[in-house]
Amino acid sequence: MPITDLLERNSKLYGGEVALVEINPELKEDQRVTWKEYELIQPTSATYYRRQITWSVFDEKANRVANMLLERGIQRGQKCAVLLMNCLEWLPIYFGILKTGALAVPLNFRFTAEEIDYCLKASDSDVLFYGPEFIGRIEDIASKLKNNMLLYFVGDPCPTYAEDYYRQSANASSIAPRVLVEDTDDAAIYFSSGTTGFPKPILLDHTALMQSARMEAAHHETKKNDVFLCIPPLYHTGAKMHWFGSLYTGSRGVILKGNSPEVILRTVSDEGCTIVWLLVPWAQDILAALDSGKLDLKNYRLSQWRLMHIGAQPVPPSLIRHWLKYFPNHKYDTNYGLSESTGPGCVHLGIENIRKVGAIGVPGFGWKCKIVDENDNPVPQGEIGELCVKGPGVMKEYYKNPKATEESIKKGWLHTGDMARQDEEGFYYLVDRKKDVIISGGENLYPVQIESFLMGNSKIHDAAVIGLPDPRLGEIAAAIIQVKEGQTLTEDEVNQFCIDLPRYKRPRKIIFDKVLRNPTGKIDKPKLRQIYCGERLVEKQSTS
């Protein structure tokens, strides 16, 4: 069945029950005016703001979005992009798009104006839903957008050049549109990337989305009375596909805007959350706050919290040992995946295998795995090779990129680009990434983009960006900078130059040295990592 059938089923079976809750600790009074059509609930804390919708309202709002789009001529197969911060509107818009037979195209809210423009074009998007945070970026690329592109503004007041989402959707019918959506229909385009710069569009169908929903519920034994806390951004397959477990079981989901330790524990306590997905930095921050005495577990109701799971980056075993000292009754799971496999879970540790912390796990529900050499032959158990996965969640293709698709999918097997090994019990361990993507705090950083930006500095002769280990973020971006002869450059000057980069892309370590290249002229990143990883780096001023 298509993923939209689950929403319609939940509306019929659990219509009056709460489906989604949004918690926003920092919302100001003057921002609440646009939320009149949602059920507003008085916060338990003076600084917390809370709103919620039931399953029936969720489905009705998705129907209104679908009918609004259909009335404007959007048809099956067209693409509708979503550029929003986490909010209660996000998922009704997503499902409304799917109900038309069109494809949803979630966009990273950290994208620059240039990246937004690229992704809209690469996905052939005809519609863009966007929020107040992105007005400046959209205005920067307005002249480049399609002449007939529909812009729906999800906020108040609405710019004169955009459609008012609230008014337009409120005037649309709440009856389910008469559009037949089937399992094999295309459903969404997500974006990923290797080391070549701009992200690649990934085409997923409804079968893949349904696979992730069934798998999530199976992996974490999600039941109707569970409450899932969603903190990561909904544009990401990781966040949304984990929430799909709640969709599959008709259980409640809580969208939290904020990730400070106190906010997380307060929300778990107030909302009765039972399942929480954390990134490594957030878990470490919670432990640090508990160790320092800034937080006291006695101040929160946490006995119902049964499962903590982590994904998006390798998890230090020491972190889990530390975690279990404070939460000895917690079950734990970690998930491995990529957007090309419809998010996390193609490999997962399993809540019964906490003794194997450090491994990424075993094949997930409905998945197969293997490790191959450079000739695509299976390697002996224990030896290192490329991890490949096969299952109903494998992407259909890199959208309109047959060459990249053929390189990644061979005989139904998705080549992940990650190097791994398998132990004697059948558990898989990541060894290294074949690609040079840096994963910092769960976010992918693309070195080529940062290197290209740095080369815009007139004092820089050459630049290379590599990932260095970091106990909190997993990795940080380090820039090796070779200064032009006769020039001087300081770390402060480099940091100031990088102000124009999005914060998460700015190098956190500056190293003044020669950039090593191999005989073919490519940056020798393996050698650079060998030199700098694990070594104590000394900040200094460089004079060439």
Give the pLDDT confidence of 328-365 residue by residue, as tens digits.
999 999 989 999 999 889 999 999 998 898 889 999 99
Contacts of 367-370 with C-beta under 8 Å, sequence gap 24+, read: 367/215, 367/391, 367/393, 369/428, 370/413
Q: Identify which has the larger pLDDT, 523 or 139.
A: 139
Tokens of 286: 């919670």
Find the angle CA(460)-CA(464)-CA(467) to the nearest 5 degrees. Answer: 140
pLDDT, position 523: 77
Report the DSSP pairing between strands 438-440 and 49-54.
unpaired
Summarised one tens digit per residue, pLDDT across range 10-28 is: 999 999 999 999 998 876 4
Summarised one tens digit per residue, pLDDT across range 431-455 is: 756 667 788 887 778 777 788 789 8
pLDDT, position 32: 41
CATH code for the structural domain at 438-543: 3.30.300.30
Q: Identify which has the larger pLDDT, 524 or 100.
A: 100
Find the angle CA(276)-CA(278)-CA(279) to the nearest 5 degrees. Answer: 170
Is residue 59 pLDDT above 60, yes or no?
A: yes
CA 242 – CA 16 distance, rounded (Å): 23
pLDDT, position 42: 43
Task: Count CB neighbours of 291 within 10 A.
Answer: 12
Instruction: Report the percent of the chain where pLDDT is more than 70.
Output: 91
Is residue 199 pLDDT above 90, yes or no?
A: no
CB 337 within 8 A of CB 346: yes
pLDDT, position 209: 97
Burial of 186 (0-12, 13-18, 19+ CB in 10 A): buried
Q: How confident is the model at residue 462 (pLDDT cuts 50, 70, 90)?
A: confident
Rank 33-42, 195-204, 405-414, 526-535 by mean pLDDT and report only the highest: 405-414
| pLDDT, the chain, mean | 89
Tokens of 384: 């290192």
Is residue 372 pLDDT above 60, yes or no?
A: yes
Instruction: Report the percent of the chain where pLDDT is more than 90.
Output: 66
Fold of 4-258: Rossmann fold (3.40.50)
**Domain boundaries along the sequence of the chain:** 4-258, 307-433, 438-543
Residue 85: alpha-carbon gap to chain centroid:
12
Summarised one tens digit per residue, pLDDT across range 483-511 is: 988 889 999 999 999 998 988 889 999 99
Is residue 540 pLDDT above 50, yes or no?
A: no
CA 492 – CA 212 distance, rounded (Å): 45
Burial of 425 (0-12, 13-18, 19+ CB in 10 A): exposed
CATH code for the structural domain at 307-433: 2.30.38.10
Q: Identify which has the larger pLDDT, 203 or 440.
A: 203
User: Worst-scoring range by mean pLDDT, 104-118, 259-273, 301-315?
Assistant: 301-315
**First-to-final CA distance of the chain:** 64
